Structure 1
Amino acid sequence: MYLYTPGEIDRERAHHQAVIQGADDINVKRIGNLGELAFEQFCREYLPVEMWTWKNEKAIRRCNSESFSSYDFEVFDYTVDVKTSRDVSAFQPEKLLDNDPDDDILVMVWHRDNEDALILLGWERTETLKSKVHTQEAYSGEEPEKLAHLATRPMNELHDLGPNTAHLNQKPENPFQPGDRVIKATDEDSSVGVVVEVLPPEENATLYGQELEGEAVRVAFPSTLDEGPGDWRTIHPAKLASYCVDQEIHLYDYKHTNLEYADQPFTVGDYVIKPDYDNPDLAIITAVDSGEISVVFEHLLNKDYIQPQRLEDICENNNLSQYSFPAEDMAFEPQY
């Protein structure tokens, strides 16, 4: 068995994709998405990447509705459906077949009540489940009242279905995730960018008409994001890729090795606080200059959202006080 602990980005994407999908039961769809994410991590750890495909990968990454498919994965040319449940009785052979008799393999994932961890219990061939159900009906009679049969094979036996290949850990080497502030590593005067999307290692991006070798990271620049229809800083980083695609905001592809975390990550329009204050007021950055930032306190502004490039002028025209601080003394205060 394997334990999968979803991060904040995964949880937010799993939920929002369920909302966008228009699922009748958002909770069930979200939990199903988390089960797929768990199995995807297993595949990446233990199976050759060219021998499995996740049907829902792009839809979850961009929080879009998934295109209809009767199964979740293809593994070694087998169709695989992931079944996720808090109630382990759902993994009894007869119940599994009632819900999904058509796919080649079913993977069983159990989740905790608060969805902070999921366990990959095992897998089984559908044909084997049919045989077990038939055997139970023909020869076994009723099962013991307190002991129900669960059909599972160990997860690590799944690779035995494929060719004899060496174990390959194909987890991404890329250290970034959506929302990170980055700069181009080789540029001394590089603008700060925002990581919007991280492509899986096997999906090669195209840059200037040529395939980009290595893991790709998609970045948007705050000045471009600020020209969008609303305040992108109030959008959870997990949803930024969906927002940028919907609003046709230009994204730039980089090899992850060509980026590094920004030492000075702040840009005009960011929400910040001075964390060493006992009860810090929310402030918005109006200017950034050589390690110093100027801010206006958010409660002084009357409008719900003002485009960042107008903030400094509005403060001066309306005699709103601005305050300067060393950037190192301030911290982001996310508004999503």
Structure 2
Amino acid sequence: MYLYTPDQIDRERAHHQAVIQGSEDVDVKRIGNLGELAFEQFCREYLPVEMWEWKNEEALRRCNPESFSGYDFEVFGYEIDVKTSRDVSAFRPANMLENDPDDDIVVMVWHRDNEDGLILLGWERTETLKSKVETQEEYSGEEPEKLAHLSARPMNELHDLGPNTAHLNQKPENPFSPGDRVTKAGDDDASVAVVVEVLPPEKNTTAFGQTMDGEAVNVAFPEMLDDGPGDWRTIPPAKLASYCDDQSIRLYTYKHTNLKHAEQPFTPGDHVIKPDYDDPDLAVVVETNDEHKKDISVAFLHQLEDVVDDDFYHQPNELSSFCDENGVSVYSFASSVLEFEHQY
């Protein structure tokens, strides 16, 4: 068996993709997405990446509807469907065959009630399931105990279907996650960017078809995100890739070794607090001082809302002039004493 524990990014993507898919039962679709993520992690850890393909990888990463495919994965040339359920009776041979009789192999994934852990119980060839169902139908009387068990082979036997290979661990090595603020390494004047998506290690090619020596990370720059139709800062990081794809916001691809976490991550429009205050007021970044990277100018949100008598939002590049024109006080702080107060 193989245990997979989804992080918050995966949980949010699995749910949002189910919503975008327009599924009649979002809960069932979300759980199915988590099952696919669990099997993808198993493949990444134990099977050579050039010998398996996840049909729904980009759709789930960008929370887009899935293109039609009769199966979820192709492994060593076999068509594999992943079945995920809290009720192990769903993995009885007859139940699985009723839903998907045409795939080569079925993988069985059990999840806990709160979906914080998924266990790959095993896999089985569809032909074997058919044989067992036929035996059960032909047997008269009480079902023997050996036929009552689920039909499943251990997960670690799956690699026996392919060529002999050593156990591999091809999980991403880069330290970045969607939502991280980064700059180009080795460039003191580099602009702050936002990580939108971290590509799987095997998808490390540029737009010109050249292979990168390192894992690829797609980023967007805040000023380009600001030009979008809404306040992107209210969007959870897991959904940024979906938002950028929907709004055709340009992404830039870097290899992860060319990026570093931003020492001064704030840009105009960010919501921040000064955490060493007992009850800190929420502020909005108005300006960053390019000459002195640690100087951040902010205006307090309650003062901005007093001007407009409503929930305040202004284009970030207009905040400085708005404060000047409306007499809103602006205060300067070192970036090191401020923290993000995210609005999603």
Q: Tell me the TM-score normalized by structure 1.
A: 0.95
What secondary structure does 1:122 align onto? strand
What are the residue-to-residue correspondences of 1:201-240 with 2, within 5 Å? 201-207=201-207, 210-240=210-240
Instruction: Flag structure 1 segments of 5+ consecutive residues without an equivalent.
Output: none
What secondary structure does 2:139 align onto? helix
Name 1:312's counterpart in structure 2.
Answer: 320
Measured in 1, the distance between the counterparts of 2:141 and 2:187 equals 73
Aligned length: 335
Name 1:335's counterpart in structure 2.
Answer: 343
Measured in 1, the distance between the counterparts of 2:166 and 2:134 equals 37
Partner letter of residue 249 of structure 2?
A: I
RMSD: 1.6
Superposed CA offset, 1:33-54 (max 9, x none): 0000000000000001011000
Q: Is the 2:301–2:312 contact (alpha carbons within 8 Å) kept by the matching residues of 1?
A: no
Is 1:285 aligned to residue 285 of structure 2? Answer: yes
Name 2:80's counterpart in structure 1.
Answer: 80
Shift of residue 212, structure 1, vs aligned partner: 3.1
Measured in 2, the distance between the counterparts of 1:41 and 1:50 equals 15
What are the residue-to-residue correspondences of 1:1-336 with 2, within 5 Å? 1-139=1-139, 141-143=141-143, 148-207=148-207, 210-289=210-289, 290=292, 291-301=294-304, 302=308, 304-336=312-344
Shift of residue 316, structure 1, vs aligned partner: 1.5
What secondary structure does 2:102 align onto? coil
Measured in 2, the distance between the counterparts of 1:273 and 1:96 equals 53
Measured in 1, the distance between the counterparts of 2:42 and 2:245 equals 29
Report % sequence identity: 74
Instruction: Flag structure 2 segments of 5+ consecutive residues without an equivalent.
Output: none
Shift of residue 148, structure 1, vs aligned partner: 3.9
Superposed CA offset, 1:176-229 (max 9, x none): 111111111121211111111111111132245634343111111111111111
Q: Is the 2:225–2:232 contact (alpha carbons within 8 Å) kept by the matching residues of 1?
A: yes
What secondary structure does 1:313 align onto? helix
Partner letter of residue 297 of structure 2?
A: S
Point out the more displaced range, 289-298 or 261-270.
Answer: 289-298
Point out the more displaced range, 195-204 or 21-30.
Answer: 195-204
Measured in 1, the distance between the counterparts of 2:297 and 2:140 equals 77
* Structure 1 consecutive aligned stretches of length 4 or more whose deviation exceeds 6 Å: none
